[in-house]
Structure 1
Amino acid sequence: MLQTPTEFKTQQERVYFQLREAILCGRFVPGRDVTLRGLAEMLNVSPMPIREALRRLTAENALALKDNRRVTVPHMTATRLEQIVEARVALETQAAMRALPHIDAAQLEALKTLDDSVTKAIEIQDAEAYIRTNLEFHCQLYSHGPNDVIMPLIESLWLQSAPFMRLVLNRIGLGYITDRHVQATDAIANRDTLALKLAIASDIREGIGALGQEELEAAIAAGRAAQT
């Protein structure tokens, strides 16, 4: 998922990508600490590769280190979420526009197929599948352009917001989601740069950007209660 290598050169690399995918899919619950030992047992590895993976993930602001043995998802507020949304809009619209000239007919069909998976996830109210397939659509789109500098920044923003998106979707459902990917693929087919920019911006703002402080706080409280 999201440019994960098919073969890992080291155990540290494998552990990093496993934890990264777990965060992106919302399997880390905001407000609940996890321990280094617990993660090591979960992945059946020694603490050393866990420490290295956590070092990288804390540097990406995906996790916060509470002490030398516990980590948690960083606290989220409506103000912080607004900043993440606006940063995503700025970077992802740029990435999409840079990719547009390089997308051929076969690649466009692949994007449409991915969007079918997004639509299916919304229909069956599967929050994890929606988050995963939605991010895969965006990642595949941007991967067609010269975005090597932008993509790590974008993925850092995804890591910061995905756990909260999962919590809220679990609580309120996916009924409020408007899939703007059809507008995006139509814009690609028509080579319409402005329409693509607007579709990507709307997709972000009407998704994660539509969450408010009340929804965040209620979802986090529910997530904590479910773990007790």
Structure 2
Amino acid sequence: MSSSTSLPTHEIIYRNARDLILFGDLAPGEAVTINSIVERLDAGVTPAREAIRRLTAEGALYASDNRRLVVPPLTMPQLQELTFARTGIEPQIARLAAVGIEPAAIDTLEQIDAQVNAALAARDIHGYLLHNHRFHWTLYAHSEAEILMATAAAHWLRVGPSLRVMVGLAETPTLPDMHAAAIAALRDGDYEAVGEAIHNDILQGHATIANGLEDEG
């Protein structure tokens, strides 16, 4: 989980609570209370309350009909909005990141992608969500596009937990590896192909989520 001794306690607790959502420790539809955050993160009541307030403001938590705060399950219209937003922003971040990226950084991405694939093979939800997020954000960090990345981060809080469906999908290992395509394009210095790979990666993940939503309906 995200933590640093240089950060104030309330920021550490917020980041760790956010990671519980991003990396599958809290599933869509699961209730979240101040006490649950206190217990899971060994946090004080005040920083736990502040973390929940911030996550609610960001749309990562919402009040259900019975007023319980839950990790919001995606609806199909929301997924469509997120598809539009993510495919408009993240491929451009990836293109910017591809400019001047060093071979050692590409090697790191390749190592992370191996961890993504290993988590998929092991049906490890937490590992898949963690390493998939690491792959994208390790790449995006090279863009230095702070405003675009902040917007993309908000989108990930909404869609990230629902990507857990990828782990339970029997045919996932046979899907085209868009991370590998992005890595190959990075090595070739083909910025447009890097953006296209990330675009297709987003579409692939969202299509899988959409299939799950249709099955639930």
Counterpart residue number, 2:179: 181
CA displacement at 1:32 relative to structure 2: 2.8
Q: Is the 8 A contact 2:120 2:167 kept in 1?
A: no
Q: Is the 8 A contact 2:32 2:68 kept in 1?
A: yes
Q: Residue 62 in 1 paired to residue 60 in 2?
A: yes
| Closer/same/farther in 2, CA of residues 8 and 185 from structure 1, 3 Å limit | same
TM-score (normalised: structure 1): 0.84
* Structure 2 unaligned residues grouped into runs of 5+: none
Letter in 2 for 1:157: H
Q: 2:178 & 2:13 partners in 1: Cα distance?
A: 33
Q: 1:216 aligns with which of 208, 213, 216?
A: 213
Q: Residue 18 in 1 paired to residue 16 in 2?
A: yes
Q: How does 1:18-57 map to 2 (within 5 A)?
A: 18-57=16-55
| Closer/same/farther in 2, CA of residues 128 and 41 from structure 1, 3 Å limit | closer
CA displacement at 1:138 relative to structure 2: 0.6
Q: 2:7 aligns with which of 6, 9, 12?
A: 9
Counterpart residue number, 2:189: 191
Q: How does 1:41-120 map to 2 (within 5 A)?
A: 41-65=39-63, 70-120=68-118
TM-score (normalised: structure 2): 0.88
CA displacement at 1:86 relative to structure 2: 2.1
> Identity, % of aligned pairs?
33
* More displaced stretch, 27-36 vs 134-143: 27-36
Q: 1:164 aligns with which of 144, 157, 162?
A: 162
Q: Is the 8 A contact 2:32 2:69 kept in 1?
A: yes
Number of residue pairs matched? 215
CA displacement at 1:41 relative to structure 2: 2.4
Q: 1:136 & 1:154 partners in 2: Cα distance?
A: 14
RMSD between aligned alpha carbons?
2.3
Q: Which runs of 4+ in 1 moved over 4 A?
A: none
* More displaced stretch, 157-166 vs 29-38: 29-38
Letter in 2 for 1:172: L
Q: 2:68 & 2:34 partners in 1: Cα distance?
A: 6
Q: Write out per-residue CA displacement over residues 161-191 of structure 1, whole angstroms, 9 at most, x where no aligned residue.
A: 122222x245434446432111111111111
* More displaced stretch, 96-105 vs 123-132: 123-132
Q: Write out per-residue CA displacement over residues 54-93 of structure 1, whole angstroms, 9 at most, x where no aligned residue.
A: 12111221111459x8411124211211211221111110
Q: 1:40 & 1:72 partners in 2: Cα distance?
A: 16
Q: Write out per-residue CA displacement over residues 129-175 of structure 1, whole angstroms, 9 at most, x where no aligned residue.
A: 11211111110001011211111111111111122222x24543444
Q: Is the 8 A contact 1:36 1:70 kept in 2?
A: no
Letter in 2 for 1:6: S
CA displacement at 1:202 relative to structure 2: 0.7
Counterpart residue number, 1:132: 130
Structure number with higher relative contact order (C-alpha < 8 Å, ≥ 6 residues apart)? 1
